[in-house]
Amino acid sequence: MGRLLFAASAWALAARDQWVGWTARARAQRLTGVVANTRFLLSPWVTVKNPASTAHERPRRPVAARGRAHATRARRAAQRCATRDLRLRQTAQGLAPRPTATIGNGMSAWATVADERQARQAAIDKQVEVYRAMLP
């Protein structure tokens, strides 16, 4: 039995950055893929050949998978923030944001099914008129 505790790595560590060859920009982009092992504890009754190597190798794959999942969540959150900021800027400039496809919430704009059918048929009739006008 043993315990390993991982945490986010140090933001600025000159020796690491120099050894890896990171610039400030590269560090900002790639640091999310680095974790720090802050605690390593093995119970006294554990007998394993090369315990430190064994203990550090086992969690490597799950940590990498969690790191990829975290990076994906972070990227999606950044995209949502950028989209929100863009829409706010467009609204401030008086521009209408591009319409987005939405999934209906089960609420209809029409009072009855017959009203909806009638509105749909009217829209189709208008489209047919446009197509007929375009044909020779």
Strands (DSSP E) found in the chain:
2-8, 35-42
Q: How far apart are CA 100 and CA 76, in angstroms?
A: 17
Closest CA to 32 of 4, 70, 84: 70
Percent of the chain with pLDDT over 70: 65
Helices and strands in the chain: count of H runs, count of E runs:
5, 2
Residue 47 domain flag? yes
Residue 77 domain flag? yes
Q: What total number of domains does the chain contain?
A: 1
* pLDDT 10s digits, 43-93: 777 777 777 676 666 666 565 566 667 677 777 888 888 888 888 888 888
pTM (2 d.p.) = 0.29
* pLDDT 10s digits, 7-37: 766 767 788 778 878 788 887 787 777 766 6
Residue 132 domain flag? no
Q: How far apart are CA 126 and CA 136, in angstroms?
A: 18
